[in-house]
Structure formats: C-alpha cells, structure tokens
Structure 1
Amino acid sequence: MVVPHHATGARLARHRLADELTDVVPPPLLADLVAVLAELVGNAVRHADPLPGGVVRVAWRLRTSAAGQQVQLRVTDGGAAGDPRMRTAGTDAVDGRGLHIVSGLADRWGVERDGLGQSVWAEFDPADVTRSDLAVAG
C-alpha cells in the first residue's frame, strides 16, 4: 500500500495492518507489528524524502509454517543523506528512540538501498511467546 509522506501515513498504515492481520496473528504479535510499523513510517516521514507522488510504500508479508507465522514489514521511501541508525536519546529527549523500539521488538531489521530510494525492513520470527508477553510478565 502507499501512504502519504505525512504523519497521517503512519496512522493509515497501522489501521490497515491491524485490519488485515487481527484474525491471523496472535494479539501480542500484532501489537508489536503495529508499533514497529508506526516507528518505521514515522521515521520515513521525519528523516527521508518521499517517493515520487509524495508517498511512502508500506508492505508486509506473512509466511506460515509449522513453527508459526513469520512476518516481514517493509517501508520504502525516497531515501535520505545517510542510512538510518540508532541514536542515543537522553531521558528528556522527545525523539531518537524509534530504531531502539524496532530493534527491541523485531528479531532483525535492516536497510536496503536501490536507485529509487531505501527500504527499512523488520522481521518477526515465529515463537510461542513474543517479546510483548515477556514485557508484561516481567
């Protein structure tokens, strides 16, 4: 799907993801997916150029196996001067935590560049207990 290169883009992407996967993945995994997608789209809007037409492309892929569902999220934008990177955020900082959230919830994440822009992706492996379950239990 494509969303505007604007703050509303993250909201539209979150709602569409939740609508499509609510009955497909466990609720704790869905909560992690929604949080990571919001961070990735928000970062694209704040730090990168849009794709032609002033948009950001958002995609997800679900693979089901005997072990459970593996999900990949991918957000493609027009690229930025530098690669996305984790920053150190002070306790009073209002930003700078997005990729830490992505790293904490996803099993892997990374960046791919091509001639049109960049994609930031995050993957979630199948598991009986997700990180959200662990955070609530801890």
Structure 2
Amino acid sequence: MAVARQYLSSDLQEWGVCETVIDDAVLVVSELLSNALRHAHPLPSGQIKVSWQCTDGHVEVAVSDGGSATEPRAGRAALSSLGGRGLGIVEYLTDNWGVRHDGDVTTVWALVATPDPVGGGRASLPEPALREYI
C-alpha cells in the first residue's frame, strides 16, 4: 500500500494538485485498498488494481478487485470498534463515491474535489496513471 500512496502523491504533485487534496486522495486510496485486501477477492490475475486521474475539478481514485459476498457500503461503527470506519472516512473526504461492476471485477471509486485548476492552467494533463498490486 505504501508504494501506491507514494506513486499517487508523486503524480498529483507533478500535476500541480494542492497538498491538502493530495493528503485526502492518499488517505482515500489507503482506505479503499485496505477494504479490498480485507474483504474482497483478488482479480483473476491475483492482483488488485489501483488507478487515478485528474478530471475537471476532481481527482478520481479507484480500486478494482475480484469482488466479495457483500456490496461495499459505509457503516456506522461503534465507538469501541477497532474497524468499520473506512468507507465513512471516504464518504467524509470525497464529493462522491460509488461501486461499479464489470463482470467479475468490482471497482470502488471516489472523487476528491480540487479547489484550484489542476496542472496550474496547463492545456492538457497526462493520461491517467495506473498501478497494479498483488
């Protein structure tokens, strides 16, 4: 997970995203990856895919896996619980999040708002970065 966070942070810095948005996006990816590793099956390749891109006014992050027996949803953990807060954190830090299904692949995505234009006004942004992890 640390490698995914490093790549994401580095790409977003290079694209001119402000530091607070980078911090939020990194935390969101960390929560989504933790949930995928804890609750889901890997993709048929044995991996979990992490991707991100800058869109108009947002950083979109996504984690794809082989799905699980239950649909990802934000819960309300008891104060004494050691877990169960991940998607609640994602919900708090993002403008929107959701789940896409494509055959055996489940993707949980989230949109982190960027208050400033990404790329410092450059005409075009690089292609979406895509990293894959086991």
If the TM-score is normalised by the length of the shorter chain, which range does it land in? 0.7 to 0.9
Q: How does 1:41-52 map to 2 (within 5 A)?
A: 41-52=33-44
Counting matched residue pairs gives 115
Distance, in Å, in 2 between the alignment partners of 1:63 and 1:117 is 23
Q: Which amino acid aligns with 1:126?
A: T
Counterpart selection for 1:63 from 50, 55, 65 = 55
Q: State how 1:77-88 maps to structure 2 within 5 Å.
A: 77-88=65-76
In 2, the alpha carbon distance for the partners of 1:25 and 1:34 equals 12
Q: Which has the higher contact order (CA 8 A, sep 6+)?
A: 2
Would you tell me which structure has more helix in proportion to its own residues? 1
TM-score (norm 1): 0.78
2:79 maps to 91
Corresponding residue of 1:17: 8
| TM-score of the superposed pair, with normalisation by structure 2 | 0.80
Structure 1 residue runs of 4 or more that deviate by more than 3 Å after TM superposition: none
SS at match of 2:42: coil
State percent identity of aligned pairs: 41
**1:3 corresponds to:** none
- Indicate the SS of the match to 1:112: strand
Gaps of 5+ in 2: 117-134
Partner of 2:110: 122
CA–CA separation in structure 1 for the residues paired with 2:86 and 2:42: 19
Equivalent-residue separation in structure 1 for 2:45 and 2:55 (angstroms): 31
Tell me how far apart the structure 2 counterparts of residues 83 and 118 of structure 1 sit (CA, whole Å): 9
Gaps of 5+ in 1: 1-9, 129-138
Distance in 1 between the 2:2 and 2:39 partners? 17
